[in-house]
């Protein structure tokens, strides 16, 4: 039987994803009783104006409707290099890791803003 598995990512892309995720860090900035704002720091990418955080994550908790609770998470990546189509897999991996670390296993509506690599997703437990 023939092996039908095709590797999508090159070894170079895998190494870059691993390097960025390993160096991923956050600082929390209080926003309101129902939301948090986290600055996202990456080893290779930075805000082009300030040279600081590559982006931010805003987590908004829906505290009024407890029947079907979704956490609304918005990730904004400011470094224009992350807006390029060749970084689509990297942006997806970074966003996935941010959701795993900051939101965990909660049901989440995700909106990622990163130029051409922007997308929406839904995480359900």
**Contact residues for 69 (Cβ-Cβ < 8 A; gap 6+):** 62, 106, 107
Distance CA 61, CA 70 (A): 7
Q: Which two tokens stand for residue 54?
A: 């590559």
pLDDT digits (tens, 9 = 90+) for 4-35: 766 678 889 999 999 999 999 999 987 787 88
> Which residue, among 115, 102, 114, 29, has the nearest Cα to 123 in the 3D structure?
102
User: What is residue 84's predicted lDDT score, i.e. its pLDDT?
Assistant: 95
DSSP H or E run through 99 = helix 88-102
Contact in structure between 47 and 53 (CB atoms under 8 Å): yes
Poorest-confidence range of 52-61, 64-73, 104-113? 64-73
What pTM value is reported for the model?
Answer: 0.88
């Amino acid at each position: 039987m023939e092996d039908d598995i095709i590797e999508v990512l090159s070894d170079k892309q895998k190494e870059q994803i691993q390097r960025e995720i390993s160096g991923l860090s956050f600082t929390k900035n209080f926003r309101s009783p129902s939301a948090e704002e986290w600055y996202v720091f990456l080893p290779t990418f930075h805000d082009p104006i300030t040279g600081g955080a590559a982006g931010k994550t805003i987590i908004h908790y829906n505290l009024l409707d407890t029947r079907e609770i979704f956490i609304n998470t918005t990730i904004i990546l400011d470094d224009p290099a992350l807006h390029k189509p060749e970084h689509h897999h990297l942006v997806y991996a970074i966003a996935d890791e941010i959701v795993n670390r900051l939101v965990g296993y909660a049901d989440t509506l995700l909106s990622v803003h990163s130029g051409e690599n922007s997308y929406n997703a839904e995480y359900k437990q």
